[in-house]
Amino acid sequence: MSADDLETLGKGNGHEPTPPPAATSRKGEVVIRLDKVSKGFGSGQKRIEPVKRLSLDVERGTTLVIIGPSGTGKSVTLRLMLGLLDPDEGEVYAFGQKLSAMSNQELGGMRRRMAMLFQGGALFDSMTVGENVAFPMRSMGERDEDKIMSIVSERLRQVGLPGTEDKMPSELSGGMKKRAALARSIATRPEVILYDEPTTGLDPIMSDAIADLILETHESLKDTDVTSIVVTHDMHVAEKVADRIIMLYGGSIVGDGPPELYRSLGQGSLPDNATEMDRMIRQFVRGEADGPIQTVA
């Protein structure tokens, strides 16, 4: 994910932002659906297909974690959900609407209901922290500066960065940049938040703090039945924040279940009737080179 993607997400239609719908509980509703979706890149012998006929429903109000080895389509899946990539086959639905049937204006409206925390934070270096957090609100057409700055201050306080509005991103540590990026992501109180490797490059203590922050953010937006989708390699984070974990390998889902499933398969001995899926999950959770998952040096 890049800053260019962020600008695409922030683009509106030039009108005032549409107010969110009335807060009525819609838990259980499918907010994101992938129906037999495939996506590849390149051609001939160099063509790769990180996503192959992937079908997935994400229910409102839940936290879905996507794990799997590098190159198995996790970040591509997030881009497909946002309409930043078009599938080669299959359909992507958001809030019950088919993305391929949406106009650019409708796509902009859909994206304003979602937010992305990018892998590297993707803060604009030339903007202050406060300007970064205000960016999505201004992009959506908000013109009341007092309202903007009030929300900026509140979001920075929520992520543990009070009083940092005038700092530049270069003055922040890696963990602080992640927090500032999260403050920007939740500035517009989105219905869906997508986290792309939120703990990459952080030490275990800071990674745990980011996991706590994901939980706190989910709780603080529970009145909107916020849905969280987290891509990560960090099993501690995955097991801590997830309601459901899916594992991707070879472009498809090879594991699907609650955190307890992954925790149990990572401990003790496998039963004699263990499936190939069980062995894949165990290998990934334990970080072992030997097993059914093929690694490339």
Instruction: Count each helix (H run) and each strand (E run) in the chain, helices first.
Output: 10, 10
Euclidean distance between CA atoms 10 and 53, whole angstroms: 29
Q: Which residue ranges of the chain lie beneath pLDDT 50?
A: 1-3, 6, 11-23, 297
According to the model, what pLDDT value does residue 4 have? 52
Residue 173's alpha-carbon distances to 137, 158, 203, 232, 285, in angstroms, are 25, 18, 12, 21, 29
Return all residues near 106 (Cβ < 8 A) that are at least 6 apart. 97
Q: Which residues contact 20 (CB under 8 A, 6 or more apart)?
A: 113, 189, 191, 224
* CB 98 within 8 Å of CB 86: no
Query: What is the C-alpha to C-alpha distance for residues 190 and 229, in angstroms, rounded to an integer?
Result: 12
- Tokens representing 22 are 């009335």
pLDDT score, position 17: 39
DSSP state of 85: S
